[in-house]
Amino acid sequence: MNIYLATLLPEALLVDLPEIDAQHEEIFNRIEWLKTACFDSGYVPIDEFQSLLDLFALHFATEERIADEAGLDFTHHAGVHGDTLRLLHRALGEVLSGGQDAHSFLRYAECWFERHIREDDRLFVAALQSGNYIPSRRQQTVASHCFSAQA
């Protein structure tokens, strides 16, 4: 499926990391497309909802990869990602069982994501760009092995 809407990502939500900004845009586009599809037809395309969760998972994995490559300790942020995916899967299950409506699910996902970008992703990107961060345990272990090999 080819989904593209005019830019929905406000300038205030840009984090100045092109790969991340593009994924943020794609997720907002998908949410908007799903809202429109639900309102226009009343039909809930469940496979497209799952596709939205897959986009979240891909995006979270991308952030985690970037943090790992930079040696940034991302433990807390990654924990937020895992908790969110579990919560979104549970909420989608409630939509499927009729316990929650699709519109509420989409509003929640959109509000959560906007808050996450403003509060968590901005801090993550600022840490990346400043280089002022504590290296991850993996980076510390790699560095200690390198230094001990030189001794």
CATH code of residue 98: 1.20.120.50
Residue 52: inside a domain, yes or no?
A: yes
Over residues 54-76, the pLDDT tens digits come to 999 999 999 999 999 999 999 99
Please tell me the total count of domains within the chain: 1
pLDDT, residue 7, reads: 65
Residue 145: inside a domain, yes or no?
A: yes
Helix or strand or coil: residue 42? Answer: coil
Residue 68: inside a domain, yes or no?
A: yes
Over residues 86-130, the pLDDT tens digits come to 999 999 999 889 898 898 999 999 999 999 999 999 999 998 988
Question: In percent, how much of the chain has pLDDT > 70?
Answer: 80
Vertex 11 angle, CA 7 and 12, to 5°? 135
Residue 5: inside a domain, yes or no?
A: no
The domain of 61 spans 17-150
Of the chain, the end-to-end C-alpha distance in Å amounts to 56
Only one residue has tokens 């943020």, namely: 24
